[in-house]
Amino acid sequence: MNLPQSNKPRIVIIGGGFAGMNVAKNLRNIDAQVVLVDKNNFHTFQPLLYQVATAGLEPDSVTYPLRKIFNHFNNFFVRIASAKKIDIENNLLITDKGDIEYDLLVIATGAETNYFGNKKIEHYSMPMKSVREALDLRSLILQNFEEALITNNIEERQKLMNIAIVGGGPTGVELAGALAELKKYILPKDYPDLDFRQMTVHLIEGQDRLLAAMSNEASNKAESFLQEMGVQIWLNTFVEDFDGQIVSTSTKKKLPTKTLIWAAGVKGSPVDGIESDKFGRIPVDETLKVLGSDNLFVVGDLAAIEGNLQPMLASVACQQGEFLAKNLKLHLANKAMKPFVYNDKGTMATIGRNKAVVDLPNFKFQGRLAWYAWMFIHLMLLVGFRNRIIALTNWVWNYINYDSGIRLIIRPFKRKELLKEDVLEEV
């Protein structure tokens, strides 16, 4: 691949997500050549994807061009390419656009949706891990309402209007709340001739409480907020099958819907040529170096620190990114690298207007104040001043007008056609 030759060491970073971006930002004045490789030319702020999917924010409010982040950096190169393989013996990264030699390699390719081997659910359900997937979901939901308006078949209309979400973690809870608000405030204005009593949002969770990684107070409050908003919550229930029309569950209850949103699991998204564990994460030591290697490092969702596994969270990825940059400087100076220690500043989830839950290390609160805290933190974390202003303007506008102006089907969603050789039965 075309890159300037240099007598300085070359650090290649794969992935410009929270982890990779923070490694790169903190290598600004390093005496080395830095190359950032990503398959997209933008950084994605995944925590707000659910607002893109529910027509609350435009996709460009939650994304930011990588080149714009780094255009003042010296000896820094961005290459848009998909990493395919790491040739460890020859210190070579193989991409779909050519090979790149490295002295130090940082792998920060994050995570992908985990369907736990169920090909049928993978085919018929909707994931929400990228901007494209969030836009597909937005299109599908709006297309379904357009169809519901046209059909004379009542059962078909019910399936088109019902929405099921699998996974009662923060993503599932936030989506359920946003969809309940769409149903209450927005869709009836767009489709006055549809009876919205026919529409139900269902949230299906395998465990006995929502937000299982948060406190009991947060779980209980999130559950009661969602119930107030009319969301049907199915606890202790696993989705076993979905054929695009009916969801079958472990409790034998069935749910007719054409939209099943899969927010039930993620797994690491490693690059070939390097060993990962059964969750797709790459084992690293406490300095974030791949076990048994000298020049391979992993950060973010993909990193599995031996004996000290961290949750797949943006805050962990950011801290690891910053930390690894310091360790790489030590490594290049032939000094001992330090162990990573996560500083847990708390977790939060929003449910809807004036409704959020916050768990801080010594203090928990819910409701309006938590919602303001959630908005403030998310605004501050968005990359770019313009994105912050646009997101804030949208939120204020939606809050005052009970409306959002971006219910657009720009690129209609079409499910991939099944080929004869596609086997969807359980593996």
Task: Write out the catalytic residue numbers.
Answer: 174
- Residue closer to ligand FAD (CB basis): 36 or 231: 36
On the 0-12 / 13-18 / 19+ scale of CB atoms within 10 A, 275 is exposed
Q: How far apart are CA 388 and CA 403, in angstroms?
A: 19
Question: Which parts of 407-426 interact with ligand FAD (CB under 6 A)?
Answer: none
Handedness of CA 401, 404, 407, 410 (dihedral sign): positive
Stretch of residues binding ligand FAD (CB under 6 A), selected from 86-94, 151-159, 186-194, 312-320: 312-320
Asked if 108 interacts with ligand FAD (CB under 6 A), we say yes
Question: Which parts of 237-276 interact with ligand FAD (CB under 6 A)?
Answer: 269, 271
Single out the residue of 229, 300, 340, 383 in contact with ligand FAD (rule: CB under 6 A).
Answer: 300
Q: How far apart are CA 26 and CA 62, in angstroms?
A: 22
Stretch of residues binding ligand FAD (CB under 6 A), selected from 4-12, 249-257, 295-303, 364-372: 295-303
Stretch of residues binding ligand FAD (CB under 6 A), selected from 45-53, 57-65, 237-245, 281-289: 45-53
Give the nearest distance from C-beta 314 to ligand FAD in angstroms. Answer: 4
Single out the residue of 160, 312, 328, 337 in contact with ligand FAD (rule: CB under 6 A).
Answer: 312
List beta partners, residue 289.
Answer: 297
Give the nearest distance from C-beta 367 to ligand FAD in angstroms. Answer: 18
Stretch of residues binding ligand FAD (CB under 6 A), selected from 69-77, 115-123, 146-154, 294-302: 294-302
Stretch of residues binding ligand FAD (CB under 6 A), selected from 26-34, 46-54, 275-283, 326-334: 46-54
- Residue closer to ligand FAD (CB basis): 15 or 177: 15
Q: How far apart are CA 104 and CA 140, in angstroms?
A: 43
Give the nearest distance from C-beta 156 to ligand FAD in angstroms. Answer: 30
- Put the strands of the sheet holding 254-256 in their side by side order: 239-242, 246-249, 254-256
Give the nearest distance from C-beta 318 to ligand FAD in angstroms. Answer: 8
Give the nearest distance from C-beta 217 to ligand FAD in angstroms. Answer: 18
Q: How far apart are CA 11 and CA 307, in angstroms?
A: 27
Stretch of residues binding ligand FAD (CB under 6 A), selected from 217-225, 298-306, 334-342, 396-404: 298-306
Give the nearest distance from C-beta 147 to ligand FAD in angstroms. Answer: 26
- Residue closer to ligand FAD (CB basis): 341 or 400: 341
Give the nearest distance from C-beta 333 to ligand FAD in angstroms. Answer: 26
Asked if 157 interacts with ligand FAD (CB under 6 A), we say no
Q: How far apart are CA 289 and CA 303, in angstroms?
A: 9
Give the nearest distance from C-beta 364 to ligand FAD in angstroms. Answer: 17
In this structure, the number of other CB atoms found within 10 A of the CB of residue 7 comes to 5
Asked if 114 interacts with ligand FAD (CB under 6 A), we say no
- Helix 170-181, helix 216-228: angle, nearest 10: 20
Q: How far apart are CA 106 and CA 303, in angstroms?
A: 11
Single out the residue of 56, 110, 167, 168 in contact with ligand FAD (rule: CB under 6 A).
Answer: 110
Site string (14-43) toward ligand FAD, x via CB under 6 A: xxxxxxx----------------xxxx---
CA dihedral 150, 156, 161, 164 (to 10 degrees): -150
- Residue closer to ligand FAD (CB basis): 311 or 339: 311
- Residue closer to ligand FAD (CB basis): 160 or 319: 319
Binding site for ligand FAD (CB under 6 A): 14-20, 37-40, 46-47, 49-50, 82-83, 108-110, 128-129, 170-171, 269, 271, 300-302, 312-315, 317
